[in-house]
Each structure stands twice: as C-alpha cells, then as structure tokens.
Amino acid sequence: MKIAVSIFSFLTILIGTVLFMQFQVYSDEVGSVDKGYNYSQEIEIVYRGESLDIRQHFKNLPKEELSIEWPRNSINPNCFIENEHSCARLSEDSKKFKEGETRAQSISYVIPLENGLQSRKVMKNVFATLKNGNVQFSTIHITTEQDIKGQWVTGLPLIGEQKLSLVNYSMFSGEGPVKDLFWQDGGFRLQNEIGALSIYSKTPLKPGFYEKLQNVKFISEEHLAVINGTNVDGIEGSRMLFLPNITVEKVQQKVIITQVETNYDFGESPHWLKEMVASFLTGTVFGSEKTKYVSATITSQMTDDQLAEWKERLREMEGKTLNTESLDALLSEVLGASTKYLTMNAQTNQPYPFLFNDPRKIYVNEEKQSDIQVVLKDAEVLYSADSLLKHLGYDVSIGENGYYVTSETRAFRFPNDSGFYVFNQRRYNTVSLPVKQVAGQYFIEESWLQRLFLVELKKSDDRITITAPGN
C-alpha cells in the first residue's frame, strides 16, 4: 500500500509541475471579455454510484464580470472552498463571477446518473463553461471505487492511471476544451497514441495499421479520441469518434471531416462541400463521387499557382462561415472570372458542369431582370432560354420532338441533338445547335439569339441590354 501511495504521489507531483508551467504559459493570453477571452481549467470528478461529483477550477480569469453556464442537468451548484479566495467572485445566485482581481475561482456541482454508470454511453455537456470564454488548456482527474473496472475517455490525452487499494484514478490533460465523458467496461483500453490521436479498442490493432496512420496528413493538431466500436446512443461525443471495424481510411475521413467542421462554420451546407474543402486542405481527394468530380473539375480549371492560392485562401477562411456562395466568390477571385459552380452543384443531384458566369446585370427592353443567366461554355456565350424568351414575349415548352418557342406570328422547334431547326413549319439546317441543354436547363447561344429573334445587344462594363424589335 505504501509503495502504491508513493507512486501515486510522485505521479501527481510530476504532472502537477508540468501543468503549472503550462498554465503559466496561457496566463499571458487573457483577452477582453467583449472580444472573447482565454482561460484554463482543472476538473476533479468522483463517481459516487448514482452521480458524478464535480469540482471545477477556473484559472487565468480576466477581471471583468463573467457569466457561468452550468450543465443543464446539474444540481447543487455551489462554491468550492479551495482557499480563502477561491469563491471571492462568485455571486450569491451562483450565475456569474463578479468583477475582481482574483484570477482563480472554484465551483462544485453534481451530475445525477440515472441507473448509475452505464457502459458505452456518452455523457454529453457535463461541465460548466464561461460565456464567451475560450478554454486554452484542460486537466481532468477521475476517481472511481476500486471495483469499478473500465476505461474512461474524455477526448484529451490520457496522462496516467493508477489502481490503488480503494480507488482507481485516471488523469487527462491537453490543449483545448472538454465537454463530454465516455466510459466502457471490460478489456476496452487505450491501445496507442499516434500524433494527435488516441486509439481505444478492446483488441490490439495490427502494427501495419499504425504505420499507415502515421503517414496520413490531418488538418489540425487538436487531440481526438478514436474509439474502435460504437456507443449505445449512436451519437458522437465532443473530440470522440466512434468507428466500428476501424480502418485507416475510415479514420482519415472521419477525423478530417471532424477537424473541418471544428475549424469552419458550414451552416446547412451539403456534406460533399465539407469533403471538398477537406480534400484541398489535405491534398488527398476522398468522399462521395460528387466530391471527387467537383474537386477534379475545379483542379482542372486552375494553373499550379492558382491551385496553391486556392488552398491558401481556404486556410485563411478558418473560423469563418463557408457555404457555396462564399466559396464561389473565393473561387471567382482566384480564377479571375465569375462562376457559380458550387452553388449550381448544390441545387442538383447530378454533377453540374463548370461554367463561367457573366456577372453583369441583364436588362430586357430597359427593364432589369434577375432570372436570366449568362454563361460561358466551350467558348460560347449562352443565355438561359426559358426566362429570356418569356421576357421577349414568347411562350416556351418542351415536347416530344424538342424545345418549342412560339408567339402570335413566329414558331420555332429546336430538336435535341439534331443539325436543324424548324421556323414556321420550314426546316433549316445548321452546323451548330441554336438551343442546347446544360445540366437539364435550356440555353440559347448568343449569335443565334440575335439571328433568330432579331434582338439588339449592347454591352458595357456593368450591364448587358437586350432589346427586342420595335422597342
């Protein structure tokens, strides 16, 4: 027993010394509350059969008033008297730390566990946070009774474990926040650490798995726990990834997508857009067939210098909102020409071809029209036929024998993929197609628009004016 206690004490002192030094590093990074601020935290957890008793110590706090966001299911929020100053700033209602010079404060609370500690269940959002604050460094101590056998996972690196005569002790520590807890009984344990990844599994993984994993390029160094298996709820934990039948390819894709989602705000963007961004950031194309098509198409439009600029501009967007519109704007800047390629692909199930868009405003008979597209494809200038021709006074329809355009005095039929068109019941042979489909949408080529519909085109730097005969 004395030997065990000695080992435990030595480990605690050693780790404590390292953590103190790390806390000092972060202490100089405190920012303004209005602009967000940084702090560190140390969390002590004791499992007591039907609950988690938690003591949370906040360090390196700014002197301004700080709002405390308690866990939703916590009870008994209170001060924890670690020293005479540890609760000096806690308000009477326990909702905030008041303005003050004391930079370390401590609180305590209880997280009830219905049916006790359950194996393979993610415990979500079990820790208190400070509004607008950014956690720079976290340390977690977990203590359970000696007969509770299993492995804790937090998403932070596992520093050490001790099995003593009465209790089991685990310690985790690393950069960034921690939100969730996971526990699994049995032989489940930490198998290996590869870079910023901790690999947990019931059974050892082959050496070749780790050799391949070491060669995978990831986006960030934020530590993640990769768990070979599933959880009972089927939900992900913060900084925890569950992968049944684990492979290097699964780890690569899951980790990279998680890192991309952490570094960027994609809102309601389609999943393939995240895969595309991740592919360019890592230099490895993966994901759905649409992702591969879109990534390859964009790459084919760029010179080597443009591709390097595109990747750098994506990295500069970290922390910002990304969607098809913002990425189209970025892509247009890099290429030096306007495109809505990503936006159009988000609106169709099938891959949409790469087109350059004329960004100028379109006027028909001096009235501005917002529903007309002008695109460049294969060196041809194409106008969206349905909208433009309707504004010119024609009715359009799609029939068994092609695309029909009619007015009171004029009638056209444009067959699909044929070298002719029909005007007022008379056939005219053509070398090129006046009207063609692009991704299921009909477009009319500019010179044919002028020739067949007798319009006048005027172009300036900011507008295209289309005037019908008699106007």
Q: Which helix (H) or strand (E) holds 300?
A: helix 289-300
pLDDT exceeds 70 at position 131: yes
- On whether the CB atoms of residues 259 and 271 are closer than 8 A, the answer is no
pLDDT exceeds 80 at position 136: yes
**This prediction's pTM:** 0.76
Cα separation, 176 vs 136, in Å, equals: 5
257, two tokens: 């997508």
Quick one: average pLDDT of 188-210?
95
Quick one: average pLDDT of 184-195?
94
Quick one: average pLDDT of 232-253?
93
Domain residue ranges of the chain, discontinuous segments joined by +: 2-182, 187-246, 264-346, 358-467
Q: pLDDT at position 397, please?
A: 96
Superfamily of the domain at 358-467: Copper amine oxidase-like, N-terminal domain (3.30.457.10)
Ranges 10-19, 210-219, 383-392: which has the least confidence: 10-19
Q: pLDDT at position 14, please?
A: 46
What are 338-358's pLDDT values in tens digits? 999 999 999 988 889 999 999
Nearest to 375 by CA among 398, 387, 390, 358: 358
Query: For the CA atoms of 311, 317, 322, 325, what is the dihedral angle to 10 degrees?
Result: -70
Q: pLDDT at position 217, please?
A: 87
Q: pLDDT at position 418, please?
A: 83
Q: How confident is the model at residue 146 (pLDDT cuts 50, 70, 90)?
A: confident
Cα separation, 22 vs 16, in Å, equals: 10
Cα separation, 249 vs 319, in Å, equals: 26
What are 398-415's pLDDT values in tens digits? 998 999 999 999 999 999
The second-level CATH assignment, the architecture, of 2-182 is Sandwich (2.60)
Mean of the per-residue pLDDT values of the chain? 91
pLDDT exceeds 70 at position 13: no
Cα separation, 285 vs 281, in Å, equals: 10
What are 364-373's pLDDT values in tens digits? 999 999 999 9
What are 31-62's pLDDT values in tens digits? 457 678 999 999 999 999 899 999 999 999 99
Sign of CA dihedral 223, 72, 90, 43: negative
* Strand extents, DSSP E, 60-196: 66-69, 75-79, 96-97, 105-112, 121-123, 129-130, 133-145, 150-153, 158-163, 167-175, 181-185, 189-194
